[in-house]
Amino acid sequence: MQTVDILREASNRIFENVKNLAGTEHAAGDFGIGAGGDISRNIDIVAEKTVLDYLKEINFECIVLGEECGRVELSDNPKGFIIMDAIDGSANAVRGIPFFCSSLAFATENKLSSITDGVITNLANGEMYWASKNKGSFFNDQQIRVRSNDPIYKIVGVNISGASDNLVKRVLPIFEKHEHLRHFGANALEMAFFARGLLDIFIDLREKIRIQDIAAGYLIVREAGGLLLDSDLNPLDADLSYDTRISFIAASNQKILDEIMSLIDQ
């Protein structure tokens, strides 16, 4: 079985196990602070356990870096890392807002740039986005690319949850200039939407996002032809540490990147 098929099967199992849980009181059960620094909710724990159980069942020799469970070594001779955010958009999932997903990636080294496979599953409906290095990105069975032509409505994604005063001031000109801003509350699924051409640019400059939230999106965006940059406009890369927090810009082409960057107060 190819690694990407293992990630896809793990995601399908998450979908089956959480699809009736979102929005229920049971979903919110508090399991204390997880490895990523947020409260682990019951729905997060159920989803992570699903993946861990499956990887053990098939004897997949790896180290899991989970947002809640932390580093779990499933072998003395690992092939690489599974980077797992079993529920991205946990607040949406707990509240029952149908915009949350799972994000699973496989990396051979301790670097984002060594990711070879990524899968993001929309857990509101089971739709799947997936990619393997140099093989393109897919939405269910259809290959996807970022948007290449000028859209009727330019859709600009900006994550400003919990942003500092200073950042809000810097990005304010984008809010003034653009009529169709979007912020849905699950970075991984927003990256998948971007890769499918539904958003023209997606930016998160808060220096807050964890590797788990963007690992699968990293590959899916790149394989769909998107520009993926850090806040200095260099190609995005980072180590897989739990302390790492990043900013990123996913742009469908240089023109929109230049336009949006010209609006941001440096």
Binding residues: 67, 85, 87-88, 213
117 near Ca ion (CB under 5 A): no
Least gap, CB of 212 to ligand IPD (angstroms): 7
Positions of E strands within 14-100: 30-33, 39-41, 63-66, 70-73, 81-88
Residue numbering of the annotated binding site for Mg(2+): 67, 85, 87-88, 213
Instruction: Tell me the two tokens of residue 109.
Output: 């080294």
The piece of 47-55, 87-95, 132-140, 169-177 that touches ligand IPD (CB under 6 A) is 87-95
**Residues 233, 230: Cα–Cα separation, whole Å:** 5
Amino acid making up residue 16: E
Give the strands of the sheet with 156-158, arranged side by side.
Answer: 181-182, 156-158, 201-210, 245-251, 227-229
Least gap, CB of 172 to Ca ion (angstroms): 29
Instruction: Tell me the two tokens of residue 228.
Output: 């993926």
Least gap, CB of 49 to ligand IPD (angstroms): 16
Which entry of ligand IPD, Ca ion, none binds 103, CB below 5 to 8 A by partner kind?
Answer: none
Q: Which is nearer to Ca ion, 83 or 250 (CB)?
A: 83
Residues 6+ apart with CB under 8 A from 205: 163, 167, 170, 171, 231, 247, 249, 264
Choose, by CB under 6 A, the member of 11, 90, 121, 137 that binds ligand IPD. Answer: 90
Q: How many helices (H) and strands (E) does the chain have?
A: 7, 15
**Residues 242, 212: Cα–Cα separation, whole Å:** 9
68 near ligand IPD (CB under 6 A): no
Tell me which residues in 220-259 interact with ligand IPD (CB under 6 A): none
89 near ligand IPD (CB under 6 A): yes
Which entry of ligand IPD, Ca ion, none binds 186, CB below 5 to 8 A by partner kind?
Answer: ligand IPD
Tell me which residues in 85-114 interact with Ca ion (CB under 5 A): 85, 87, 90
**Residues 27, 93: Cα–Cα separation, whole Å:** 8
- The binding site for ligand IPD (CB under 6 A) comprises 38, 67, 85, 88-90, 159, 161, 185-187, 208-209, 213
